[in-house]
Structure 1
């Protein structure tokens, strides 16, 4: 009997120690002792993320600006140029409005195992046509290869450290759903000029939160500033849906809210745009300038 009492006391002590360890460091307890997936602890991703990811930034670019701007915003556009805002990316940002670095296995941003960019495209088959329309690679929006390259890069740089590291369909579809909710031109008139503040005020009236206005510099008219992107900020949630004021008022070469910026007309033809934009840009898309 004495031996059984000793065993009972020992078992209780072990259980108590295990509970204490779990409360102090549940992640280590689960991963290193039980070898379970973190998702079994909770249905919320917030309990398993190890990044300092604080909010999302949805960046919507105006293709006629992207295709007529100097680098880093400008691209050598060879395909059809959309006459509506298209998605540049859905970016996880930290509390200081800095980009969360791309996934690094040596210092992972998540305890989930992300889908590799090399395996991304099959997950997007259901929304492939919509992605081509609203999230094209403006370097050549008519090229399947270039579009897929762009999506893989956005996934590598941003999606793998989002709330959806192993659910790429949900990541891309969330961005498409957000884009669907807005007036395609934010009630701005192509061909007109505005101050940065006027653009920001027009967007804010429509969406109910302060945007970040990203400017670019025209390669055609020296020193002329253009409206390149409108960036909207969202609270960190699944899916992102609650808008918040963006930390920055503007970015790029704009220096104040009173700077005048042009909202370029869409091109009359894709050939004309290709001639205008020859020789600019990056390998696959405009830079993720923050």
Structure 2
């Protein structure tokens, strides 16, 4: 009996050593047959940080809130160079996740056409933010937009090149050059026509996929006019 017992022990020890040896070879998949969970694939190449000139917005459509001479946040939009960015799933907007940011968001990211800013933020998150959720979860997404707004003050950037909301007309090229001088990269400029007057409405800055570094924006056709006005008041209707 003693001999059989020790033979069994030796066989078990041999099998354990054999299994360990296999795990150190190309047969490693034998020891790890259950696949490890993978992080969600990133579905975009870069991110637009979009700021809108409130007075242009409110000259072009009815606003429920007084427009100021400021750029406010419109959104942080994941985008792709060669395809339309589509995000069909993601977490729903949860207001309590950004409760500590609400005061700043009310100032820097207000809705001009809705009374409830929360509905605006919900729409931006569920339309755009969920695309970047693997990199920027909900709170990080809104916090990133606030930090970008503080870092890239377009009013100050344009003022450095004597571009103001003064009723004067400026070339689209001069606006682009002012931003490129300050950031090192070209933005995209959006304009809309109001009674034959091209108004600067939005400026798009482009950032890397995690919204930490500004990059060159791809060419765009958001504005077909060469001379633009930055309105300093609401026009008479």
Q: Please state how far the C-alpha of 1:50 moved relative to its aligned partner.
A: 0.8
Count residues with an aligned counterpart: 222
- Corresponding residue for residue 270 of structure 1: none
- Corresponding residue for residue 173 of structure 1: 143
CA distance in 2, matches of 1:83, 1:153: 25
- Corresponding residue for residue 42 of structure 1: none
Q: Give per-residue Cα distances to partners, 1:120-157, cap 9 Å, x unaligned.
A: 211111111111111111103xx2x2x11110011111
Q: Does 1:79 align with 2:65?
A: yes
Q: Is the alpha carbon distance of 1:68 and 1:21 closer, same or farther for their aligned partners in structure 2, counting shifts above 3 Å?
A: farther
Residue from 176, 193, 204 that aligns with 2:180: 204
Q: Does 1:226 align with 2:232?
A: no
- Corresponding residue for residue 157 of structure 1: 127
Q: Does 1:213 align with 2:186?
A: no
Q: Give per-residue Cα distances to partners, 1:231-251, cap 9 Å, x unaligned.
A: 1011123xx231111012x43
Q: Which runs of 5+ in 2 are unaligned?
A: 1-6
For the Cα contact (< 8 Å) 2:52–2:202, is it kept in 1? yes
Q: Please state how far the C-alpha of 1:49 moved relative to its aligned partner.
A: 3.7
Q: Does 1:247 align with 2:218?
A: yes
Residue from 49, 53, 56 that aligns with 1:62: 53
For the Cα contact (< 8 Å) 1:164–1:171, is it kept in 2? no
CA distance in 1, matches of 2:227, 2:136: 43
For the Cα contact (< 8 Å) 2:50–2:76, is it kept in 1? yes
Residue from 222, 231, 235 that aligns with 1:264: 231
Please list every run of at least 4 consecutive aligned residues from structure 1 whose deviation after the TM superposition is greater than 6 angstroms: none
Q: Is the alpha carbon distance of 1:156 and 1:16 closer, same or farther for their aligned partners in structure 2, counting shifts above 3 Å?
A: farther
Instruction: Please say which structure displays the higher CA radius of gyration.
Output: 2
Residue from 128, 133, 136 that aligns with 2:107: 133
For the Cα contact (< 8 Å) 2:23–2:31, is it kept in 1? no
Per the normalisation by structure 2, the TM-score is 0.80
Q: Is the alpha carbon distance of 1:212 and 1:22 closer, same or farther for their aligned partners in structure 2, counting shifts above 3 Å?
A: farther
Q: Is the alpha carbon distance of 1:51 and 1:241 closer, same or farther for their aligned partners in structure 2, counting shifts above 3 Å?
A: closer
> Is the partner of 1:102 in helix, strand or coil?
coil
Q: Please state how far the C-alpha of 1:165 moved relative to its aligned partner.
A: 6.4
